[in-house]
């Protein structure tokens, strides 16, 4: 084997290691940012936190995420950002006297954001988020059970 063939073989091995080794085993690959997904299901006991702590919950600009890898996080971030925008609109009129209308608005926003999220999940050829495989109340209950901060407290409670 000549020198060029030997070098070419080394590059192939290096390329395979870089591309195929999981991020935790590859120091050059980006790490996944922590995204508190899915968002908690709105209900009367967390409505005040949804509306009062909204400005303190993180937003995720596109340029804050890695451009390679983690496309599933981009879809989660899109859902959270979309939901937080809707919450902001719903909560502009929030007062203790109109909790029913605000709760109705944020609940619809939650359902809409996660419905669009699941549509996005099914539009790509990767494994979809488990809850998206269910329908109706089973799907919504799945998302609610998996929420890391269902109370919407800021900062979130320690787990």
How high is the pLDDT of residue 32? 62
pTM of the model: 0.75
Q: Residue 51 and residue 111: Cα distance in Å, rounded?
A: 17
What the block records as the tokens of 90 is 């719903």
pLDDT score recorded for residue 34: 78
- What is the C-alpha to C-alpha distance for residues 18 and 46, in angstroms, rounded to an integer? 44
pLDDT at 88: 95
CB 136 within 8 A of CB 32: no
Residue ranges, the chain, pLDDT below 70: 1-33, 64-70, 155-159
């Amino acid at each position: 084997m000549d020198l060029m063939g030997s070098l070419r073989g080394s590059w192939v091995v290096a390329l395979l290691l870089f591309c195929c080794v999981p991020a935790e085993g590859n120091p050059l690959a980006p790490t996944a940012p922590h995204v508190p997904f899915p968002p908690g299901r709105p209900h009367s006991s967390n409505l005040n936190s949804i509306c009062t702590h909204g400005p303190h919950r993180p937003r995720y600009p596109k340029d804050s995420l890695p451009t390679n890898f983690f496309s599933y996080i981009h879809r989660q971030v899109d859902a959270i950002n979309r939901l937080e925008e809707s919450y902001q609109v719903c909560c502009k009129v929030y007062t203790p006297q109109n909790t029913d209308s605000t709760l109705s608005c944020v609940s619809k926003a939650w359902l809409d954001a996660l419905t669009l999220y699941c549509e996005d999940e099914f539009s790509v050829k990767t494994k979809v988020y488990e809850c998206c495989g269910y329908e109706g109340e089973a799907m919504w209950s799945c998302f609610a059970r998996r929420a890391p901060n269902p109370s919407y407290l800021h900062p979130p409670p320690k787990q």
